[in-house]
A and B are shown apart, each in its own frame.
Chain A
Amino acid sequence: MAKLTLEELRKLRDNKKHEIQKRETDNKEIDVIVGMGTCGIAAGAKDALDAFIAEIDKHNLTNVRIKQTGCMGFCTYEPTVEVKVPDMPDTIYNNVSVDVAKLIVGNHLVRKQLVSEHVFDRPSVDIIENK
């Protein structure tokens, strides 16, 4: 890859923005929040974040905000990822590997179906109450 300058980066971004504006009809409405605490990273959260970014880009989902957060308090179930889609329940997924991340994008974000076998159903009460 040739070395990118900030100016070239701005141009690439402007080109993409132009493409997005042609497609985009609504504002960002979906949140994907990846837990990147020490526990998450030890379990592979960096790979999960990379997979979400690549997969969301591949599907041209321009209405998705991707964020990282710290430990969500579910250390034994890492990597954990919270997904918020309008008209669907806010969902935390556990043990999100690269393959599970791809499933979440394809099923939850695109087809609006939960990836049931990875839905986390035992929230950590002390963390949730502190929110």
Chain B
Amino acid sequence: MQYSVCDYLLDLIQNSVESGASVITLDLLESDDQLEVCIGDDGCGMDNTTLGRVKDPFFTNGEKHSARSVGLGIPFIIQAVEATGGSFDIKSEKGTGTSLYFSFFKGHIDMPPVGDLPGVFRSLMLFDSDYDLLVHRKNIGKSYRVSRSELHEALGDFTDSQSLVLLKDFFSSQEEDIS
């Protein structure tokens, strides 16, 4: 089960990567009382029938694992959002891409913990696929933007331990700056 906001982010961005997206955007915006997330991708998208069914926890298209019921995890995020009085929206067009929005009220008693943001930002960069991920992070008045391609250009390969340490250091320093 997902526990923190970071767990949902990893799941949802993985969906975008597996949809064959070449560009994925992630906006993670915090105000005094709200945390909002927008994810957009130019992956394979879904038709209206499938889009309606992904909110059903018992739906799977059976393609990822033939013998297991594996879905997109959308019902989990809807459940968490509804428990905090936040909102959720998903739009998709077959062949064009998918966009998704959710928000939490930070002061709500059922607000999940945010989790380790530098750690998850690093993990979001590590999926084994050719995609760009544009991160826009804002905390009240301060913000930063960075893309996977810029980080690749600065660090080279993301598979050796030195790059991975520096990648997390980078996000930790950015998060510290806006906190």
Task: Name A's B-contacting residues (CB within 8 A).
Answer: 1-4, 6-7, 9-10, 12-13, 16-17, 20, 28, 36, 38, 41-42, 46, 49-50, 52-54, 56-57, 61-62, 64-71, 73, 126-127, 130
Inter-chain CA distance A1–B165, complex, in Å, is: 14
6 extra interchain contacts, Cβ-Cβ under 8 A, other than A4-B174, A38-B11, A46-B116? A3-B177, A4-B169, A13-B155, A54-B161, A65-B160, A73-B65
> Which of B68, B119, B127, B151 interacts with A50 by CB under 8 Å?
B119
CB–CB A62/B160 < 8 A: yes
CB–CB B11/A12 < 8 A: no
Return chain B residues, CB-CB under 8 Å to A73.
65, 68
> Which of B73, B159, B170, B176 interacts with A9 by CB under 8 Å?
B170
Return chain A residues, CB-CB under 8 Å to B176.
1, 3
Inter-chain CA distance A1–B174, complex, in Å, is: 9
Inter-chain CA distance A56–B3, complex, in Å, is: 28
CB–CB A42/B161 < 8 A: no
Inter-chain CA distance A38–B10, complex, in Å, is: 9
Q: Which applies to chain B's interface (DSSP): helix, strand, loop or mixed?
A: helix
State the Cβ distance, B5 to closest chain A Cβ, in Å. 13
Asked whether any CB of chain A lies closer than 8 Å to the CB of B32, the reply is no
Asked whether any CB of chain A lies closer than 8 Å to the CB of B109, the reply is no
CB–CB A56/B161 < 8 A: yes
The contact sample of 10 A-B pairs, CB cut-off 8 A, is A3-B173, A4-B174, A9-B154, A9-B155, A9-B170, A13-B154, A28-B159, A28-B160, A62-B162, A71-B70
**Chain B interface bracket (under 10, 10 to 19, 20 to 34, 35 or more):** 35 or more
> Which of B116, B162, B174 interacts with A16 by CB under 8 Å?
B162
CB–CB B156/A17 < 8 A: yes
CB–CB A46/B119 < 8 A: yes
CB–CB A6/B151 < 8 A: yes
Return chain A residues, CB-CB under 8 Å to B160.
20, 28, 62, 64-66
Return chain A residues, CB-CB under 8 Å to B70.
71
A-B interface, 3 closest residue pairs, ranked by CB to CB distance from nearest: A57-B161, A65-B159, A56-B161
Return chain B residues, CB-CB under 8 Å to A50.
119
Given A42-B3, A46-B119, A46-B123, verify A6-B161 contact (CB < 8 Å): no
